[in-house]
Amino acid sequence: MHLMSVDGVSAQVDDRILFSDVSFGLSTDDRVAIVGPNGSGKTTLLRILAGDREPDAGEVVTRNQVRIATLSQEAGFDGEVARDAVLTADATAQQHEAEALLDRMGIAPDHPTDAMSGGQQRRVALARSLLTPADLLILDEPTNHLDVDTIDWLEADLTRRSCGLVLVTHDRYLLERLTNRMLDLAPDAPGEPAAATWHEGSYSSLLEARAERAEQRQRSTERARNLLRKEIAWLRRRPKARTSKPRFRIEQAEALQAQAAGDPAAQPLRLGTGRTRLGTQVYDLEAVTVVRGSTTVLDQVDLGIGPGERVGIVGPNGAGKTTLLHVLAGSLPVDAGEVRVGRTVHAGIYEQQAGAGMDPDQTLLDSVLDIAAHVPLATGERLPAHRLAERFGFDSHTQRTPIGRLSGGERRRVALLHLLVDAPNVLLLDEPTNDLDLDTLAVLEDHLDGFEGTLIVASHDRFVLDRLTDRTIAVEHGQLTEYLDLDQYREARAATSPRQTDALRTSDTDHGRRRAQDNQTRQQVRKQARSLERRLQQLERRRDGLHTAMVDAAQDPDRLLDLQTQLAEVDDELSRTEDAWLELTVDLEV
């Protein structure tokens, strides 16, 4: 059934055009994701579709009697209790359905909305939109402030629905499994309005189309390099009697050189950890207890984290993930127990409120330069800070913009820059993907993938946890439980339902216990092998980078000697790591 027609729609904020001449139709079979960089107008377009904002040009025609339910970024409650806030969306909704959905969201039905945090209000707003009968569901970042379990449930719920769907989300698993059309809002050049490009299929279809365009650019780059060689040869062969090069030839060579350089942001970048290398100890928690009011958030927990480990922190909302990160960062004292931190640890923490306390009158670039002018790379080279800012989507004009004029998502990106420029050897990240667009997420993950220090990340983003971590710690009921990976954690959570718990109890024989112990041992070995594989990849990348740096430093004996020393250390660790990995592999094959 046809639901809506969008014809030549444009929108602008003040004198800035967000997008123009956007046209498409929507039916009940459509599951559309709108993607694009921060500031391209994704939320504005959702508001236009929902009827909450008039377009500055064009029109939106909605079929008569089409029911639309929305989730916006502003909850808009008046202090009513959660149950009433949900039921006002649809008087026919049964009270028990509302209470069951609120329980799924971790919200007490009688909790007043004006006493809730922003995250709690967002979950109530999501429950309200899901309970509203709708032919078209419009959702703006529905996974924000949800834990992994609830996101899994939401994905299943949306999959079962037969209505049309339009959403903006940074959850790539949701994009891949749930959508069948992608609207890419992205400017052709910085400062230009966003152009609308449609892609049939899921998120992977969009990535494939982008990859094809990148290959075309690469072919253009190769052609430019060949032409550049000819131009340089011509300039060098000029007749000796000629005292100056023709200006057009010089300009042509310069233009070709810029094109031949390709996109520097597309080149891999491996961040270093400053001058301080991690020792053998990073964090050791012994019988640590943290009490908040009448609630024991952490109850005599033990935890050890070593150098180079990549740890994902998961658990329900309010379980204590942020508390654990603050304990590790040293910003929250414990009520009992001991926290031992390695002498060489230089930790940096990225918090959920990142970007809130910045000087609004200071320019983006000045705020970065106040921390450091260069960022150390794993190769030993140093990258100018403004180049790293470019990789995070800040062009030269934006870098000179006062922070107070940046959007919330842009300020969070600035906070990430501040963290990385400081070159910590331990990164503590609390929900780093909130309010970041997909392109920025890809850049951040690429940098973190090559980070050689210890990474500890609390996140609801399943893609991030799968890609960047090889150890999963769950925080729940004051305790820490370790899992091989996110999938094992999700399976364990699913098995806690009463029906599955009974099934597990009936199979608890001696044979079952021995088999469980064997499986646990193999899982531990497999986890260690995965960790060593990741370390091998890091070391191989670092070795390749050192070889490249040595070629560039051929005329600098001191620099070359330092690089050779680093290379010997890397080769030695590579050999020891390979031996350990081979030994574990043999154990797994037995």
- The answer to whether 538 touches 452, Cβ cutoff 8 Å, is yes
Q: Can you tell me the mean pLDDT for 427-442?
A: 85
Q: How many residues are listed for the chain in this entry?
A: 590
Q: What pairing do the DSSP bridges indicate for beta strands 426-430 and 347-350?
A: parallel
Tokens representing 126 are 């999501």
In this chain, the answer to whether the domains covering 2-208 and 283-486 adopt an identical fold is yes
Give the model confidence (pLDDT) of 533-588 as tens digits. Answer: 777 777 887 888 888 888 888 888 888 888 888 888 888 888 888 888 777 776 65
**From the DSSP assignment, how many helices (H) and strands (E) are in the chain?**
19, 20
Q: How far apart are CA 466 and CA 461, in angstroms?
A: 9
Q: What pairing do the DSSP bridges indicate for beta strands 164-168 and 336-341?
A: unpaired
Q: How far apart are CA 49 and CA 43, in angstroms?
A: 10
Torsion-angle region of 200 (φ positive above 0: left; ψ -120 to 50: alpha; else: beta): beta
Nearest to 271 by CA among 575, 538, 457, 567: 538
Q: Which CB contacts under 8 angstroms, 24+ apart, belong to 251-257?
A: 253/228, 256/224, 256/225, 256/227, 256/228, 256/231, 257/228
Give residue for tokens 């025609």: 61
Instruction: Please calculate the CA angle 297-300-304 and round it to the nearest 5 degrees.
Output: 100
> Lowest-pLDDT range, 19-28, 108-117, 275-284?
275-284
Tokens representing 64 are 């008569």
Q: What pairing do the DSSP bridges indicate for beta strands 374-376 and 382-384?
A: antiparallel
Instruction: Please calculate the CA angle 395-226-267 and round it to the nearest 5 degrees.
Output: 35
Q: pLDDT-based confidence at 318, cuts 50/70/90?
A: confident
Q: pLDDT-based confidence at 516, cuts 50/70/90?
A: very low
Give residue for tokens 């001449």: 21
- Beta-carbon contacts of 136 under 8 Å, excluding residues fewer than 6 positions away, are 3, 4, 26, 28, 66, 67, 68, 69, 163, 164, 165, 166
Give residue for tokens 């392109």: 439
Between 570 and 58, residue with greater pLDDT: 58
Across the chain, what does the average pLDDT equal? 81
- Proportion of the chain above pLDDT 70, given as a percent: 82
Q: Can you tell me the mean pLDDT for 355-379?
A: 84
> Lowest-pLDDT range, 40-49, 83-92, 152-161, 314-323?
83-92
pLDDT at 231 over 70: no
- Proportion of the chain above pLDDT 90, given as a percent: 33
3-state DSSP assignment of residue 283: strand
Fold of 283-486: Rossmann fold (3.40.50)
Q: Can you tell me the mean pLDDT for 89-113?
A: 82
pLDDT at 230 over 90: no
Q: Can you tell me the mean pLDDT for 110-114?
A: 91
For every residue of 337-374, DSSP letters joined together read EEEEE-TT--EEEE-TTTTTTS-TTSBHHHHHHTT-SE
Between 474 and 74, residue with greater pLDDT: 474
* Most confident listed range (178-182, 402-406, 468-472, 529-533): 178-182
pLDDT at 176 over 60: yes
Q: pLDDT-based confidence at 420, cuts 50/70/90?
A: confident
Give the model confidence (pLDDT) of 121-140 as tens digits. Answer: 989 999 999 998 899 999 99
Domains in the chain: boundaries = 2-208, 224-262, 283-486, 495-590
CA pseudo-torsion sign 402, 404, 406, 409: positive
Please give the class, per CATH, of domain 2-208.
alpha beta
Distance from first CA to last CA of the chain, Å, rounded?
Answer: 58
3-state DSSP assignment of residue 257: helix
Q: How far apart are CA 102 and CA 99, in angstroms?
A: 5
* Most confident listed range (88-102, 262-276, 338-352): 338-352
pTM to 2 decimal places: 0.74
Q: pLDDT-based confidence at 88, cuts 50/70/90?
A: low
